């Protein structure tokens, strides 16, 4: 099957039941490769997400001379090169569709002695990078971009970085992480102040690798010049991938599904809070901590959802889950209003416009706004929609078929492999009537 053209066909109806463990958390998988590569000693990783995005991060560090064994069924061993042990790659570092890889690595590479170039696919090459190159320039980095501030990023080595006290103009974990990672190589104390809480995997994992990271209120600080010490990382299941099944089981009458070993980082659980506000029947069970990250199993049963005004303070805690939350809103009784989510317009696609276009094809009253959407729930029709090469759009519309009156056909689904390899197999195993065709 070619990966260039992949279409999902999802027959209407059904329910989700049984037990499922979705792939490992993408954010944690990326960082485990980065920090294991920079650490002193041998790092073992289990539960690694073998999707294209995380594999591109792995290939990048191999290209810089790090010895990495695996992945074998999610298991990886990294012989750390040390904080100053990376070597110049022989060519451009290609990162495919991964914005996380590009933004975080731009911070790490800004402090190296060698030149490097970060490139990506057409989608990644359209995404804004000035949000990271601007603070890095303030730290003394020299980075050339395309004319409109996008990739490829040409990073000049040998810059002496100085610490900064940076106030994020928008709530972005990627920008926060980029500045902190550059701060590892900077003279002095680098601090980042965030306007709203964002995912804190970088801070947690740096501490897990023995690096001192301090938080006071909304300000996070670290000192440059320290070392990372190798450790074992057990990657929990990705709540962003679990979200498709949480919504699918919520909207499909008769569903009873357990999603296992889900990462419950409090900076990521906005999808659970929003679904509960809509009336979803979610039970969090078997709570525990794995490698500094909270983990639990989630049982979800079918429920009658109602429309809500989504609290803006939950938006950064659910930013990647909104495509499927829009499907929940389309299935709910009444009106759902999202504001404060302009960040969705610069993801792998313009997720506000692309989801609105698709929901309208399915005869749902979905009105895009500059920073969100107004959705009036109703009867979902079948139809043909376009994912616009955005993995989360593709999976969100597949779940809509559970409540549609006809088949939903979704074009441009190849990028699902960036975050969720074997999505079709796992989803069909718990009751989604889905087929993939080239």
pLDDT higher than threshold 60 for residue 1: no
| R_g over Cα of the chain | 21
pLDDT higher than threshold 60 for residue 107: yes
pLDDT higher than threshold 80 for residue 291: no
What per-residue confidence (pLDDT) applies to 66?
Answer: 98
Q: Which residues are catalytic?
A: 320
Query: Alpha carbon of 308 to those of 267, 281, 315: distances in Å?
Result: 21, 16, 13
Q: Interior CA angle at 136 toward 130 and 141, to 5°?
A: 120
CA 233, CA 36: separation in Å to the nearest integer? 9
Residue listed under structure tokens 């320290």: 226
Q: 131-161, pLDDT tens digit by residue? A: 999 999 999 999 999 989 999 999 999 999 9
What per-residue confidence (pLDDT) applies to 4?
Answer: 65
Query: Alpha carbon of 9 to those of 136, 263, 365, 410, 419: distances in Å?
Result: 44, 30, 23, 7, 19
C-alpha count within 13 angstroms, C-beta hemisphere, residue 385? 33
CA 385, CA 108: separation in Å to the nearest integer? 39
Residue listed under structure tokens 């979200």: 243
Residues 6+ apart with CB under 8 A from 147: none
Residue 217 DSSP one-character state:
T
Q: Quickly count: other Cβ atoms within 10 Å of residue 88's Cβ.
A: 13
Q: Quickly count: other Cβ atoms within 10 Å of residue 44's Cβ.
A: 17
Which phi and psi (to 5°) does residue 329 adopt?
-65, -40
- Give the β-pairing of 219-223 and 189-193: antiparallel
Q: 224-263, pLDDT tens digit by residue? A: 999 999 999 999 999 999 999 999 999 999 999 999 999 9
Q: Rounded to two decimals, what is the model's pTM? A: 0.85
CA 124, CA 347: separation in Å to the nearest integer? 9
What per-residue confidence (pLDDT) applies to 2?
Answer: 34
Among 239-243, 409-413, 415-419, whose mean pLDDT is lowest? 415-419
Angle separating helix axes 130-138 and 173-183, nearest 10 degrees? 30
Strand, helix or coil for residue 28: helix
C-alpha count within 13 angstroms, C-beta hemisphere, residue 436? 23
What per-residue confidence (pLDDT) applies to 419?
Answer: 83
pLDDT higher than threshold 60 for residue 3: no
**Contact yes or no for 154/144 (Cβ under 8 A):** yes
> Mean of the per-residue pLDDT values for the chain?
96
Q: 170-227, pLDDT tens digit by residue? A: 989 999 999 999 999 999 999 999 998 898 999 999 999 999 999 999 999 999 999 9
CA 300, CA 202: separation in Å to the nearest integer? 29
Helices and strands per DSSP (H, E), number in the chain:
12, 23
Strand, helix or coil for residue 429: helix
Instruction: Domains for the chain: give ranges and CATH numbers.
Output: 7-24+236-437 (3.65.10.10), 26-234 (3.65.10.10)
pLDDT higher than threshold 60 for residue 65: yes
Average pLDDT over residues 330-348: 94
Strand, helix or coil for residue 296: strand
């Amino acid at each position: 099957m070619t990966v260039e053209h992949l279409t999902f066909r999802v027959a209407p109806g059904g329910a989700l039941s049984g037990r499922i463990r979705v792939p490992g958390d993408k954010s944690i998988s990326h960082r485990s490769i980065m920090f294991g590569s920079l650490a002193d000693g041998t790092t073992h990783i289990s539960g690694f997400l073998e999707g294209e995005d995380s594999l591109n991060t792995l290939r990048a560090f191999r290209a810089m001379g790090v010895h990495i064994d695996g992945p074998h069924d999610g298991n990886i061993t990294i012989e750390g090169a040390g904080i100053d042990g990376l070597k110049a790659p022989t060519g451009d570092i290609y990162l495919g569709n991964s914005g996380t890889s590009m933004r975080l690595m731009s911070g790490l590479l800004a402090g190296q002695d060698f030149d490097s170039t970060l490139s990506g696919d057409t989608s990644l090459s359209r995404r804004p990078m000035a949000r990271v190159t601007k603070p890095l320039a303030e730290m003394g980095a020299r980075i050339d971009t395309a004319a409109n501030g996008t990739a490829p990023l040409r990073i000049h080595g040998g810059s002496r970085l100085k610490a900064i006290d940076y106030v994020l103009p928008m709530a972005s974990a990627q920008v926060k992480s980029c500045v902190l990672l550059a701060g590892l190589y900077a003279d002095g104390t680098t601090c980042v102040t965030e306007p709203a809480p964002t995912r804190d995997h970088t801070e947690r994992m740096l501490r897990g690798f023995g690096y001192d990271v301090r938080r006071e209120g909304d300000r996070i600080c670290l000192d440059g010049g320290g070392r990372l010490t190798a450790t074992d990382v057990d990657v929990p299941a990705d709540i962003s991938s679990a979200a498709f099944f949480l919504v699918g089981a919520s909207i499909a009458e008769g569903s009873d599904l357990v999603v296992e070993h889900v990462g419950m980082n409090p900076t990521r659980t906005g999808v659970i809070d929003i679904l509960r506000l809509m009336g979803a029947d979610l039970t969090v069970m078997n709570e525990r901590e794995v490698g500094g990250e909270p983990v639990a199993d989630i049982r979800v049963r079918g429920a009658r959802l109602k429309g809500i005004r989504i609290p803006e303070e939950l938006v950064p805690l659910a930013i990647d889950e909104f495509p499927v939350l829009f499907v929940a809103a389309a299935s709910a009784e009444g009106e759902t209003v999202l504001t404060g989510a302009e960040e969705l317009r610069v993801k792998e696609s313009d997720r506000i416009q692309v989801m609105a276009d698709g929901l309208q094809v399915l005869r749902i009253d979905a009105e895009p706004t500059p920073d969100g959407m107004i959705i009036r729930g109703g009867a979902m029709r079948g139809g043909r929609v376009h994912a616009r090469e955005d993995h989360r759009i593709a999976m969100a519309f597949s779940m809509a078929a559970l409540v549609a009156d006809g088949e939903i056909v979704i074009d441009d689904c190849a990028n699902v492999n960036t975050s969720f390899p074997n999505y079709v197999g796992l989803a069909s195993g718990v009751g989604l009537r889905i087929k993939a065709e080239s």
